[in-house]
Amino acid sequence: MIALIQRVTEARVEVDGAVVGAIGRGVLALVGVERGDAEAQAERLVEKVLGYRIFPDADGKMNLSLLDIKGELLAVPQFTLAADTKSGTRAGFSTAAAPEVGRRLFEKFVLLSSQKQLHVKTGNFGADMRVSLVNDGPVTFWLQASPAVR
């Protein structure tokens, strides 16, 4: 599984013009599921996203995690993160998990994150979404949990 995380001062996701999820200070996580991923990858990715030290401490160094600051999480499913872009000028999606697997593992990611006493909001799986954010820094990281079998 993959997460592109961004430290934000605010973020929101809209579907059909209606806000379905919005947060203040925290992390926007775009989450992709690759073929071969399982619950173990979802569990590991939650640990990485919530524990990754991207927030400044009193000295301005990135030493605090989302859990440390009791921030908010906006998780947005994004299958295009699992695209194969190695050749040509058009992405291939044979490396992405099947939709039913992607949905199940994204929901597992959200459930596990919610159990950590965080304010968690989400986008809608399979929907055409509009994501808005204020990237703080900017700070953006690509995290991957145990590479999927290809």
- Determine which one of 55, 79, 106, 125 is catalytic: 79
Residue 62 Ramachandran class (φ > 0 left, ψ -120 to 50 alpha, else beta): beta
SS3 56: strand
Q: Establish whether 79 is a catalytic residue.
A: yes
* R_g over Cα of the chain: 15
Q: Establish whether 80 is a catalytic residue.
A: yes
Contact assessment for residue 61 and residue 111, using Cβ atoms and an 8 Å cutoff: no
- Determine which one of 80, 85, 93, 115 is catalytic: 80
Residue 138: asked if its preceding bond is cis (omega within 30°), the reply is: yes
- Tell me the C-alpha distance between 150 and 145, whole Å: 14
Question: Computed from CA positions of residues 7, 20, 145, 32, in that sequence, does the dihedral angle turn out positive or negative?
Answer: negative
Q: Establish whether 78 is a catalytic residue.
A: yes
- Determine which one of 6, 41, 55, 78 is catalytic: 78
- Tell me the C-alpha distance between 80 and 98, whole Å: 12
Q: Cite the active site residues.
A: 78-80
